[in-house]
Structure 1
Amino acid sequence: MTDRVLILGGRGRIGSSVAQDLATHTQSEITITGRSPEIGRGVSFCMGEQVKFLVLDLAEIGRLQEAIANSNLVIHCAGPFHYRDANVLKLCIEEGVNYLDVSDHRSYTSKALNYREQAAAAGVTAIVNTGIFPGISNSMVRQGVEQFDQPEKIHLSYLVSGSGGAGVTVMRTTFLGLQHPFPAWIDQKWQTVKPYSKREIVEFPPPYGRSGVYWFDMPETFTLPHAFPSVKTVVTKFGSIPDFYNHLTWMAAHVFPKPLMQRRAMIEFLSYVSHFMTDVTNRFSGIGVAVRSEVTGQKNGETAVYCSTLIHENTAVASGCGTGSIAQLLLEGKLNKPGVWPVEEALSTDLFEYAMQSRKIKIHHHWL
């Protein structure tokens, strides 16, 4: 029988990339959703007959549950996830359907992880944070952690050129992440960190080189300490190219009045203005992504550092590869782990390396 995959929010840049990856690497029947018929026009023309479009609003619970029940796998790409409840996951558990998402905010990840026992009892494998960061980045960390007798520190740095090939939703996610201080695992205790603070210059692979990154609230800030209990510190930092975007974002985090930044209308305004600006700068900056994972720990009685790096010319496509590869593993029966898991706890390094090789994504490793 043909596998049926439902991609919620599949007409967005990330959702479209996931659909394209699945259409390339599987024979599954793919249905992507959107809230209006106009959004779905030209889907078959763009992606082929393997991909269909369904008009569906997530607020229509009855129709949503019916669509889930008619699927073998549901992939939730309808962000921003700051505003989402875990209702889609709950319905998947009720219907016995495996679940993935591209969530990128700790509030949603926390809600999803609360359903671990219910998913395990239902035999449902649910994996959250499966894109590029979080996603591929988390599996790079797992690769690094496994090199040590005792890992002690994780330092993750992300760099995105221009818009990253993503839509306005990703811009919303960035500005929503600036609203509140957040807890980070530092020196074996949770400490409050201000978003977009403590600029650090990090060496990324060419063509990026030395670039500035800042503290940013990501789900892996709290999932990695739980996945790897011996780790004493987890740092997650993010930056943009061109660098002047970093300074504008810093101003939004530290200069703009907090009550103003917490208004949805202000978030929308900044998101659309930023997306317009990146449409211009994309022409010379590109839309790529760089990830740098650095793990420090004890190996053979000595302190060592293991560094992994990845670059991709299109951030949205890279995210599609991260989620699409895990979807393929689930559909082929190579990955089965009932419960709700962040990707670093669900995906073994062997399967991760197989998935990246199948997508021709190269990850470089070296000891510092």
Structure 2
Amino acid sequence: MTDRVLILGGRGRIGGSVAQDIATYTQAQITITGRSPQTAKSSSWDLGERAKFLVLDLAEVDKLREAIANSNLVIHCAGPFHYRDANVLKICIEQGVNYLDVSDHRSFTSKALKYHQQAVAAGVTAIVNTGIFPGISNSMVRQGVEQFDEPEKIHLSYLVAGSGGAGITVMRTTFLGLQYPFTAWLDGQWQTVKPYSQREVVNFPSPYGNTGVYWFDMPETFTLPAAFPTVKTVITKFGSVPDFYNHLTWIAAHIFPKWLMQRHGAIEFLSHVSHFMTDVTNPFSGIGVAVRSEVTGIKAGKKDIYCSTLVHENTAVASGCGTGSIAQFLLEGKLQKPGVWAVESALSTDLFIQAMQSRGITIHHS
């Protein structure tokens, strides 16, 4: 029988990249959803005859349930996830359908993980945070952690050039992440951190070099300590290229009134202005992504550092590779782990290496 994949929000840049990866590496029939018929005409992806479009709003619960019931795998790409509930995951568990998403915020991840026991009982494998960061970055950390007898510290740094090849939703995600302080696992205890604070200059691979990164609220800040209990510190920092975007974002996080940054209208305005600006700078900056994972720990009685780096020319495409490769493993039966998991707890390093090699993504280690 032909596998059937349902991609919610599949006409966005990230969702389209996921669909393209699945069309390239599997023989699945793909159904892509959007909220209006006009959405179907706005995509630049050509997925061939194996893809069809379905008008669907997530609020249409009966129609959503029917679409999920007719699928072998559901991939949730309809962000931003800051205020999403876990209803899609809940229906997947009820219907016995495997689930992936590209979520990137702790509030949604926390909601999803609460369905772990229900997914186990239903035999459903559900994996959240499967894009590039979080996603591929988490697997880079797992690979680093496995080099040590006792891992102690994780330092993750992300860098996106221009728009990253993504759409307006990613801009919304950035500004939504500036609204509130968050907790991070530091020196064996939970401590409050301000978003876009404590600038640090990190040396990324060419063409980026030394670039500033800042604290940013990501699900990894709490999923990684849960996955690797001996780790005492987890740092997640993010930055942009060109660097003046970092300074503008810092101003939004620290100078703009908090009440303003918590208004929907302000987020929309800033998101559209930022997207317009990146349209101007993309030809000069590119739309790539860099990830740097640094794990410190004890091996054979000695302290050491294991560093992994990745560079991809298109952030959205890299995200599609992260999610699409896991979808491929689920469809092929190579990955079966009932429950709700973050990537680092579900995907083995062997499968991760296989995924990256098959998609021509090189990860350097030192």
TM-score by length of 1: 0.99
CA distance in 2, matches of 1:135, 1:45: 23
Q: Match for residue 326 of structure 2?
A: 326
How many angstroms does 1:46 deviate by? 2.1
* 8 Å contact kept, 2:101–2:127: yes
* 8 Å contact kept, 2:20–2:45: no
Aligned amino acid, residue 143 of structure 2: Q
CA distance in 2, matches of 1:125, 1:156: 26
Q: Match for residue 155 of structure 2?
A: 155
The correspondence of residues 132-171 of structure 1 with structure 2, limited to 5 A, is 132-171=132-171
| Secondary structure of 1:49's aligned partner | helix
Structure 2 unmatched ranges of 5 or more: none
Q: Match for residue 66 of structure 2?
A: 66
**1:64-120 per-position Cα deviation (integer Å, ceiling 9, x unaligned):** 000000000000000000010000000000000000000000000000000000000
CA distance in 1, matches of 2:192, 2:171: 24
How many angstroms does 1:41 deviate by? 2.4
Q: Match for residue 13 of structure 2?
A: 13
Q: Match for residue 359 of structure 2?
A: 359
CA distance in 1, matches of 2:351, 2:101: 18
* 8 Å contact kept, 1:44–1:52: no
Matched, 1:83 2:79: no
| Secondary structure of 2:335's aligned partner | coil
How many angstroms does 1:44 deviate by? 9.6
Structure 1 pair 186–44 and aligned structure 2 pair: CA distance change class (3 A): closer
CA distance in 1, matches of 2:119, 2:147: 31
Q: Match for residue 207 of structure 1?
A: 207
| Secondary structure of 1:138's aligned partner | helix
CA distance in 2, matches of 1:346, 1:25: 20
CA distance in 2, matches of 1:12, 1:364: 30
CA distance in 1, matches of 2:203, 2:302: 24
Q: Match for residue 100 of structure 2?
A: 100
Q: Which moved more, 1:249-258 or 1:35-44?
A: 35-44
How many angstroms does 1:43 deviate by? 6.0
**Identity fraction in percent:** 81
How many angstroms does 1:47 deviate by? 2.0
* 8 Å contact kept, 1:44–1:51: no
* 8 Å contact kept, 1:184–1:235: yes
* 8 Å contact kept, 1:44–1:50: no
Give the number of aligned pairs: 366
| Secondary structure of 1:82's aligned partner | coil
| Secondary structure of 1:316's aligned partner | helix
The correspondence of residues 112-191 of structure 1 with structure 2, limited to 5 A, is 112-191=112-191
How many angstroms does 1:5 deviate by? 0.1
Aligned amino acid, residue 224 of structure 1: L
CA distance in 2, matches of 1:273, 1:48: 34
Structure 1 pair 45–101 and aligned structure 2 pair: CA distance change class (3 A): closer
| Secondary structure of 2:49's aligned partner | coil
